[in-house]
Amino acid sequence: MCTAISVVDAKSKIINGKIGWSGGPSIKQLFLLHPSIMYYIAKNPSTPEVYNKLIQSCKYFFEKMAIFVASDLYTTGMYEKTKICLYIDCRHHTKCCINVSLNKLSTKIWVTNILGLDKENILTFSSLIFPKLFRWNNIQLDGFSDNIMYDDFKKVASFLTDFSFWRSQIINNDGSVVMLDKILEITPNIKEFYFSFWDDISMINPATMKNICKLKNLQNVESFRLFHIPEVFNVDDLSTFVKNHQNTKIVFDFVGEISEEYKIQLDALIDTVIESEVHNCRIQYRGQNEEKYKIMNELYHL
């Protein structure tokens, strides 16, 4: 596949819809099936594995639908720094990764694992990255101690399946902070949600979790994890969220500086989780009952 991309980028010319392959003209293949059927097969590969077998069997299929199948695609800045990883177990080592310039790439990209976005490349997602995609499974936005403008976030929000923020915020043009429930409201396809508050509580208030419980677009969330939560959420609202999302893996991790009264309320919720044998929720705070935490954690990992 890598050689094919090099040929298309540097040595081939498309004439009348045909790729002029290096070393000879495009091959005319006689198929037993009707041309319209072969054209449909070429344009609609069912899986990446099927597509790779098709293009290995005949140049016709790559000629009709030029796709680069990759596991991961990460852009560590602007588009000229795009890194494509071929293997799903890759740890971004140079031997199995390819650096490409998306604005020069003539093929489509089929991302089978994760397409990773960050603060910088969401600016070019709509104009450059998305037009290059053939299919994808997960589009992940990572924020680490960065602030992202809300207008930029809105351009990618509907595509996101994975959201991971650590000491990061989403900011309006007037400098105000976008609330957590608003972020979730405009990410209808989210599957994995991770947010770590640390010392910042500007994105939440006592009504935030109640508002989140009312959202109708979170029924398909597979994992919902909040870390370093301050003593802000109403515990009854946390309980409602757990009850309404029984198929979601939930983690509520609280900071150490919470009151004894709040710990008592959390302990009551923990008792309910254990007594009901809820398999999807883990609640943790410093100094909690270790035996109850162990039981809850074992249920969580069943």
- What letter does residue 179 receive in the DSSP assignment? P
pLDDT tens for each residue of 197-226 = 876 678 899 999 999 999 998 988 999 999
- Give the mean pLDDT of the chain: 85
pLDDT tens for each residue of 272-298 = 999 999 899 999 999 999 999 999 999
What's the pLDDT score for residue 282? 96
Q: With 90 as the cut, is the pLDDT of residue 239 above it?
A: yes
Domain positions in the chain are: 1-65, 145-302
Q: 109, 135 in Cβ contact below 8 A?
A: no
Q: HSE on the CB side for 292, CA within 13 Å?
A: 17
pLDDT tier, 7 (very low <50, low <70, confident <90, very high otherwise): very low
Q: Which CATH number fits domain 145-302: 3.30.70, 1.10.3470, 3.80.10, 1.20.140?
A: 3.80.10
